[in-house]
Amino acid sequence: MSTHKTPQSQQMLKLVESAPFSQEEKTKWSKVLHEKGITPEVAEEVHKTLTELPVEKFGGDWEKARFNMELAALLKQWRMSEASKNFKHNR
């Protein structure tokens, strides 16, 4: 069972499964996402791999751009969520 069921980790799982990554990469990242949630290492690795994939693996330029935009928005949301944990909310 997933121990870190944040909305961002669930969205990242869906993105990893729907993107044209190799099955080995999908399995590895899914395991980490289920066990630990999003980590900076996984986020960087997914982003790097996604940007390095050729356009031919996607349905075209637009689909690759869509995946990149979804990942960027997801990572921004995750970083904001993580940063907000460093502040006290006791007003």
Decide: 71 and 46 in contact? Cβ < 8 Å: yes
Burial class (CB in 10 A: 0-12, 13-18, 19+), 30: middle
For residue range 1-19, list pLDDT tens digits in order.
445 678 899 999 999 999 9
Over residues 31-52, the pLDDT tens digits come to 999 999 999 999 999 999 999 9
Percentage of the chain lying above the pLDDT 90 cut: 78
pTM: 0.85
pLDDT category at 86 given cuts 50, 70, 90 is confident
pLDDT band at 88 (very low <50, low <70, confident <90, very high): confident
